[in-house]
Amino acid sequence: DAKTTQPPSMDCAEGRAANLPCNHSTISGNEYVYWYRQIHSQGPQYIIHGLKNNETNEMASLIITEDRKSSTLILPHATLRDTAVYYCIVRGLRGNQFYFGTGTSLTVIP
């Protein structure tokens, strides 16, 4: 299963766009990239996922590079409630398991 690498922490000013990078250089052709976030003492919350094309929903946008070796999650207008640990996960093909990395702790600053 492909591993992911994310910066351990980031800050973002409230109202600004938060851009969270993720490297997944060993991803294989049919593996999806998923993004979740976890607010303290809660279960992870699904944000978005994609395979090759860029994706957008009401929460965020996902930009995947053409070679699929990296992706960026974009929160267009960060709020204080977006402070959380953000996990980028490549979903395994065999059993659809998620293997969580260490994630990025995003702090939105007033």
Partner 1 sequence: GAVVSQHPSRVICKSGTSVKIECRSLDFQATTMFWYRQFPKKSLMLMATSNEGSKATYEQGVEKDKFLINHASLTLSTLTVTSAHPEDSSFYICSASYGSSSNQPQHFGDGTRLSIL
Nearest to 33 by CA among 75, 2, 76: 2
CB of 15 to partner 1, least distance (A): 28
* 75 versus 103: smaller Cβ distance to partner 1: 103
The answer to whether the Cα torsion of 51, 58, 8, 42 is positive or negative is negative
CA distances to 17, 62, 102, 108 from 25, in Å: 25, 17, 16, 28
By CB under 8 A, residue 53 contacts partner 1:
no
* 34 versus 83: smaller Cβ distance to partner 1: 34
Options 42, 58, 66, 67; binder of partner 1; rule CB under 8 A = 42
- Which residues in this chain contact partner 1 in the complex, by CB under 8 A? 30-32, 34, 36, 38, 41-46, 49, 51, 87, 91-93, 95-103
